[in-house]
Structure 1
Amino acid sequence: MDIRNPWRRNPWFESVAVAQQRAKHRLPAPVYAALVAGSERGQSREDNEAAFAEIGVVPVVAGQPAERSLSTTVMGQRIAAPILISPTGVQAVHPDGEVAVARAAFARDTLMGLSNFASRSVEEVTSTGALTLFQMYWTGDRDVMVSRMQRAADAGAVGLIITSDWSFAVGRDWGSPEIPERVDARAAARLAPSVLRRPVWLWQFARSGGFPDLTAPNLAPRSGPAPTFFQAYYEWMTTAPPSWADIAWAREQWRQISGRPFMLKGVGRVDDALRAVDTGADAISVSNHGGNNLDGTPAAIRMLRPIAESVGDQVEVIMDGGVRRGSDVAKALALGARAVMIGRAYLWGLAANGQAGVENVLDVIRGGLDSTLMGLGVRDVHDLRPHHFVVPPDFDRPLGATGHTAPSDTRGSVRTPAREGAGV
C-alpha cells in the first residue's frame, strides 16, 4: 500500500469527511477551492454545518426496532431514502460529470437534480434512467423560459425546480479561485502549476478526450451553439429578478406543459413560504444556496421548523445546506423536512471516485440515517419528531414571521387576502 495515498487500493470511504479529504487530495487546488468556498467570509456556509452539531440526540437503551423504513415520496416519486441530489453547476471535478451522478442516483433509487448550468444536457442525464428534476434560474425572457421547460419535459424530467435565491454576491474573502471561460492554451498554461500536481486527475481527463469546454448545453438556443458558462451567467445577471406573479406564471406554464410537480428553491422566510403556497408550488426547498447567497443568512436547518410549521401539509418541505451525515438527515426530518438535498457531499464523492464515489456517499448517509433511527427507537422516517432530539431553545430563526416584514413587490403579487392576516 502506498503510504502517501493509502486509499489507492481501496476506493471505498466510510464518511463524507473522508470523501472530502480524498477530493482535496485528487483535485487541483483551484478546483477544490471552488467547491468549498462560500460568499464573503463564509459565515453562512460554516453555520450550515455547525448548526447541526448544536442538536443532540435522545437515544433509547432497549426496544429498538429490528427493521426500519427509510422510503418516502417526494414530488410524486417514491424513493429509497429521503436524500436527494441537489442541482449544482458545471461538475468538472470528474470527466463524466452529471452523467456519473445521474447513474448513481438511478442505482440508489433517488431523485437527480440537474442544473441548467450543468455541463451535460438534460437528454444525456435522463437517458440514464434517473428520475430527474430540472432546475432553472430566472434567466432570459418568457419565451426562452417556456422553451427550456418544454425541452426538459420532452426529455422526461419528472419535475421542475425554480431557484431564485441568489443575489449575485460574488465576493469571496477567502479561497474562491478564478474560473476560465474556456480551457484553451492560455488558460491551461496559467493553471498548469496546480494541475500538474494532480496527475491522476489530469490523466482521467486526458483519457476521456481532454478538459471539458465550460459551456451550458441546457441553455443552448434552438439553433446555434451552447453559451459559455460566463455568457449564460451574463444572461442571468441581466434578467430582472422575478416577482411573485412571475413565479405563479412559471408554475402555470410548467403545469400546462407537463402536468408535473414544481418546486421553489431558496426559501428562508415564513412569509415567502406562504406566498410560495399561494403560487401553487408543490414543494419548497429551505435553503441559503449552500452559503453562496447573502453571507450572514442563518443556517438552513435553523430556518426549517418555523417554515414547516407555517405551511403544514399544504406543500412538501425540502431542506438543503450542510448535510454531511445520516444523523443530519434525521434532524432535518424531525424539524419538518420531508427530505434533504445534498450538494458538496456528492461532489466530493464524484471527485474521489466517479459514479461509485457518489453511490458511496449516498450509502454512507443512508446508513447513518438508518443507524440514527435504530438508536432513537424509531421505526419509520415519517415518525421522527423534535422530541427525539435536544434542540436548544434559541435554535430556530423564524425569518419573515412577526417582526420580519417582507419588502413590497411592486411588480405584482399573488398573495390572497386570507394570508394577509396570518401575522407574517
Structure 2
Amino acid sequence: MKFENPWKQNPWFESVAVAHERARKRLPQPVYGALVAGSERGQSIAENEAAFAELGLAPHVVGQQPERSQATTVFGQQIGLPVIISPTGVQAVHPDGEVAVARAAAARGTIMGLSNFASKSVEDVTATGATTFFQMYWTGDRDTMIQRMQRAHAAGAAGLIATLDWSFSMGRDWGSPEIPERMDFKAMVRLAPKVVTKAGWLGQFGRQYLKTGKLPDLTAPNLAPPGGEPPAAAPGGETPAKPSWGPAPTFFGAYYEWMTTPPPSWEDVAWMREIWQQISGTPFVLKGVCRVDDALRAVDAGVAGISVSNHGGNNLDGTPAAIRMVRPIAQAVGDQIDVVMDGGVRRGSDVVKALALGAKAVLIGRAYLWGLAANGQAGVENVLDILSGGIDSALRGLALSSTTELRPQHLLIPDGFDRALGAPEPALTSR
C-alpha cells in the first residue's frame, strides 16, 4: 500500500495551535527557533498568551443575533474583520514570504503590515492589491528615512507604522538560532545537517531556485539605497518607470545601521509624522506603546493611532502582557486616536476580549507566520478564517450583532487585571 501524507491530502487546519505544530515539524530548527523565541527568559512572550485565559466571557442564553458583522474602520481603512497583519522581518518560512501574506490579507479584506526588514520589496507587496501599511524603524539619518518614506508612498502604501521599541535582545536562556549573513555555498554546507531532514521546506526553496536561479537570501530590499535616477512622472496616466535601487543590505547590515543610529526623541516622532504627512497624507501609526503617559505623548505628537504592544515578547522581557495594558491606554486617549493591540492573539475569542477592552482591532504576527509555514498563502487565509470563526461564535454567544458593540461588561475581568503603566497618580486627599 502506498503511503500518502495526510497533510498533502488535507492541508486545512482547525486551529492556530495545529498550524503551530505543523510549522514546528516542517521548519528547520534555526528557522522555527527564530519564530518562537522571546527575549531573555521568555517571560513576556508567555505572559502575552496566558493573560487572555484570565478573562472570561458573559454569554446570554436567549437573544442571539441571526446576522453578525465583523467589519470595522481603523486608521481610516474599512476592513472585513478586526484582525490586521503585523509587520514582521525576513519571512524565510516560505519562498513567497510577504507576497503570499499580502495576497491572503487582500483575499480576506484586511490590512497588510510590511516591515522594512521584509524579504520582499514594498513594490512587489503593493502589487498584490493588498492595502499595505509600511513599517519603519528609526534607522539611518533623516535623509535616508525620507527616501524610504518616499519610496513607500510611491509604491502605494496606505499608511506608515513607526516601530521604536526594538532591542533585538540576544540574551535568550535557550540560546539564539544561527542566522547566516548570506546564503552562500559555505553557509549552506554548514546548515545542511539542520535542513536536510526537512524535505517539504527544502523542496519549496529548491523549486524556487529552479524557477528563478536565485537562492533565498537574508537581505532587506526595502532598505536598499537609491541606485539610479528616480522614476519620471507618468504622463497621461501611464505607469511610471520602476525606480532603481542599489544592493540590499543583509539583516546584520540593517542591525548595524540601527545600532549606530541615535534613539529618537518625541520631537523626532513628531518630525517623522510631519514628513509622512507631507509626503503621503495617510495615517501615521506608532507601534510598541506600553504606558499611559507615552500614549498621551503620542496624541500630542499627532499620530493617527497606536499599537499597544511589547513587540511580541522580543523586546524588554518582563513587560506586562499587551492585553493588560489595553484598557488603561484606551481610556486615557479616548476617541482622539485609534488604539489596536498585538501580542499573544491565538483565537477569535482573544480578538473579542481585546476589542471589549477598547482596541479597535488586533495585529497578529506568529499566528500567520505559522500558517504561512504550514501551507503558504492558503495557510495564512486559514488562520484568518479561524480567527474570524471564533469572533463570530463569541458574538453569537454574547448576543451581539457587531464587534463594534463589544464593551468591558461583556467580559469577566478579575480584580487587578489591568496594568496602567505611567498613569497619573491620583490626587492625594487630606485626612
Letter in 2 for 1:118: A
Given that 1:98 and 1:119 are in contact with CA atoms closer than 8 Å, whether structure 2 keeps it comes out as yes
Given that 2:341 and 2:359 are in contact with CA atoms closer than 8 Å, whether structure 1 keeps it comes out as yes
Note the alpha carbon deviations across 1:347-402, whole angstroms, 9 max, x for none.
00000000000000000001100111001111111110111111111100000113
Q: Note if 1:348 corresponds to 2:352.
A: no
Instruction: Look up the match of 1:331.
Output: 353
The alpha carbon displacement at 1:193 in A equals 1.1
Task: Provide TM-score, normalisation by structure 1.
Answer: 0.93
Task: Provide TM-score, normalisation by structure 2.
Answer: 0.92
Letter in 2 for 1:241: P
Instruction: Look up the match of 1:59.
Output: 59
Note the alpha carbon deviations across 1:150-195, whole angstroms, 9 max, x for none.
0000000000000001234221111531101011122111211110
* Secondary structure at 2:135 match in 1: strand
* Secondary structure at 2:136 match in 1: strand
Instruction: Look up the match of 1:222.
Output: 226
Q: 1:366 to 1:26 in 2, by over 3 A?
A: same
Q: Structure 2: how far apart are the matches of 1:342 and 1:3? A: 36
Instruction: Look up the match of 1:284.
Output: 306
* Secondary structure at 2:113 match in 1: strand
Q: How does 1:217-366 map to 2 (within 5 A)?
A: 217-223=221-227, 224-366=246-388
* Secondary structure at 1:109 match in 2: coil
Instruction: Look up the match of 1:418.
Output: none
Q: Structure 1: how far apart are the matches of 2:75 and 2:110? A: 12
Instruction: Look up the match of 2:234.
Output: none
The alpha carbon displacement at 1:59 in A equals 1.1
Q: Structure 2: how far apart are the matches of 1:43 and 1:193? A: 31
* Secondary structure at 1:8 match in 2: helix
Given that 1:33 and 1:175 are in contact with CA atoms closer than 8 Å, whether structure 2 keeps it comes out as no
Instruction: Look up the match of 1:199.
Output: 199
Q: 1:122 to 1:244 in 2, by over 3 A?
A: same
Instruction: Look up the match of 2:185.
Output: 185
Q: Structure 2: how far apart are the matches of 1:312 and 1:289? A: 23
Given that 1:162 and 1:264 are in contact with CA atoms closer than 8 Å, whether structure 2 keeps it comes out as yes
Given that 1:34 and 1:175 are in contact with CA atoms closer than 8 Å, whether structure 2 keeps it comes out as no
Note the alpha carbon deviations across 1:87-145, whole angstroms, 9 max, x for none.
00000100000000000001111000000000000000000000000000000000000
Q: Note if 1:38 corresponds to 2:60.
A: no
* Secondary structure at 2:6 match in 1: coil
* Secondary structure at 2:306 match in 1: strand
The list of structure 1 runs, each at least 4 consecutive aligned residues, that deviate by more than 4 angstroms after superposition, is 1-5
Given that 1:168 and 1:237 are in contact with CA atoms closer than 8 Å, whether structure 2 keeps it comes out as no
Q: Structure 1: how far apart are the matches of 2:330 and 2:370? A: 30
Instruction: Look up the match of 1:20.
Output: 20
Instruction: Look up the match of 1:152.
Output: 152
* Secondary structure at 2:10 match in 1: coil
Q: How does 1:390-405 map to 2 (within 5 A)?
A: 390-402=412-424
The alpha carbon displacement at 1:25 in A equals 1.0
* Secondary structure at 1:314 match in 2: coil
The alpha carbon displacement at 1:75 in A equals 1.1
Q: Structure 2: how far apart are the matches of 1:279 and 1:3? A: 61
Letter in 1 for 2:147: S
The alpha carbon displacement at 1:314 in A equals 0.4
* Secondary structure at 1:365 match in 2: helix
Letter in 1 for 2:348: G
Q: Note if 1:372 corresponds to 2:394.
A: yes
* Secondary structure at 2:286 match in 1: strand
* Secondary structure at 2:7 match in 1: coil
Letter in 1 for 2:311: H
The alpha carbon displacement at 1:199 in A equals 0.6
The alpha carbon displacement at 1:271 in A equals 0.2
The alpha carbon displacement at 1:3 in A equals 8.1
Given that 2:170 and 2:176 are in contact with CA atoms closer than 8 Å, whether structure 1 keeps it comes out as no
Q: 1:4 to 1:179 in 2, by over 3 A?
A: farther
Q: Note if 1:161 corresponds to 2:165.
A: no
Instruction: Look up the match of 2:232.
Output: none
Given that 1:68 and 1:380 are in contact with CA atoms closer than 8 Å, whether structure 2 keeps it comes out as yes
* Secondary structure at 1:7 match in 2: helix
* Secondary structure at 2:268 match in 1: helix
Q: Structure 2: how far apart are the matches of 1:3 and 1:44? A: 42
Given that 1:48 and 1:299 are in contact with CA atoms closer than 8 Å, whether structure 2 keeps it comes out as yes
The alpha carbon displacement at 1:211 in A equals 3.6
Letter in 2 for 1:20: H
Instruction: Look up the match of 1:104.
Output: 104
Given that 2:371 and 2:382 are in contact with CA atoms closer than 8 Å, whether structure 1 keeps it comes out as yes
Q: Structure 2: how far apart are the matches of 1:90 and 1:2? A: 38
Note the alpha carbon deviations across 1:252-286, whole angstroms, 9 max, x for none.
00000011000000000000000000010000000
Letter in 2 for 1:221: P
Given that 1:2 and 1:8 are in contact with CA atoms closer than 8 Å, whether structure 2 keeps it comes out as no
* Secondary structure at 2:205 match in 1: helix
Identity %: 72
* Secondary structure at 1:133 match in 2: strand
Instruction: Look up the match of 2:133.
Output: 133
Q: Structure 2: how far apart are the matches of 1:8 and 1:99? A: 22
